[in-house]
Amino acid sequence: MTAVQIVFGIVLILLALALIVIVLVQDSNQQGLSGAISGGSSESFFGKNKGRTDEAKKAFITKILAVVFMVLALVTVIVSMFA
């Protein structure tokens, strides 16, 4: 293994741990049967300002971490093919 592969492996492990933590910290989106029938709470204050809440920020961070993780995993595979 080269030094680059070791560094990419360590960064992948750290990203995986960060992704696990951020997913576990998020609240559940399940509203049950009553949410399905009534349509949820999209007309409430929190529904209208969903992009500004902490949960929206956590969801955004989750998406960014997932994309970075996938790209880094692909880069690691490509680097290991040529090393």
At CA 14, angle to CA 81 and CA 54, rounded to 5?
130
Secondary structure (3-state) at 1: coil
Radius of gyration of the chain (CA): 19
4 pLDDT exceeds 70?
yes
- pLDDT given at position 12: 96
pTM: 0.72
Q: Tokens standing for 37? A: 């029938």
pLDDT in tens, 16-32: 999 999 999 988 776 65
pLDDT in tens, 61-75: 999 999 999 999 999
Mean pLDDT (the chain) is 84
37 pLDDT exceeds 80?
no
pLDDT band, residue 48 (cuts 50/70/90):
low
